[in-house]
Amino acid sequence: MAKTPLEIIQMALEREKKAVRDYSEYAKTAEDPSIQEMFRFLTEEEKKHVKLLLEEIEKQVYQEM
């Protein structure tokens, strides 16, 4: 069954949230400081994506009202 744009955005949001959790955990467990820094950077990038997707969900919800 075809998904609505809102459902697709929500799926993307869940993937981004998982990436934040995963990268954050990798940053904590990596032994090499440069690897830790890379995963911290990736965590922050994914947090930006989460914020953008939440904003888009908000727009979609208000359009439906």
Higher per-residue confidence, 63 vs 30 = 30
Query: What residue spans define the domains of the chain?
Result: 5-60
Question: What is the residue-averaged pLDDT of the chain?
Answer: 94
* 2: number of Cβ within 10 Å: 5
Residue pair 13/53 in contact by the 8 Å Cβ criterion: yes
Has this prediction a pTM greater than 0.75?
Answer: yes
pLDDT band per the 50, 70, 90 thresholds, residue 60? confident
The residue written with tokens 């799926």 in the block is 11
Residue pair 42/23 in contact by the 8 Å Cβ criterion: yes
Residue/partner pairs of 32-37 with CB below 8 Å, 24 or more apart: none
Q: What is the mean pLDDT of residues 3-30?
A: 96
